[in-house]
Amino acid sequence: MLPEVFECPQCKRQFVFELVESSSEHSIYCPQCKRYLGEKDLNFIIVTEIDELAERLRFERDRLERDEAVYSMTDCDAELRTYGIEVHKVVNVLRKTLAELEALKSTYL
């Protein structure tokens, strides 16, 4: 998982904080002024990442479904008609992946 950049509201210093550490300390403090900034919540971060990925996949799925409807039903070039006929395979993969992501997300809630 990537480190996250934080900015302290008091001293305006930005710093990078590793979210996954071996220590049991979950509190986040500014390294300069020692102000308490919050708690690490790995489950929240994972759920957020899953939500963002699922949103991008839903957008692509919707776009491909519209393409499928347009190109498979209209009179167009043979290449585009073939694209419209075959795109359902990709849409099915996206649907399956979205379902798996939702199942994975439920394990972290």
Give per-residue pLDDT as tens, 32-67: 888 887 777 677 778 888 999 999 999 999 999 988
What tens digit of pLDDT does each residue of 59-73 get?
Answer: 999 999 988 888 777
Please name the helix (run of DSSP H) or strand (run of DSSP E) that holds residue 28, with its range, or none: strand 27-29
68 near 87, Cβ under 8 Å? yes
Residue of 57, 28, 56, 58 whose CA lies nearest to 42: 28
CA distance 98 to 55: 9
Q: Residue 100 has what pLDDT?
A: 96
What predicted TM-score, i.e. pTM, was given to this entire model? 0.64
Cα separation values, 99 from 52, 62, 86, Å? 14, 15, 21
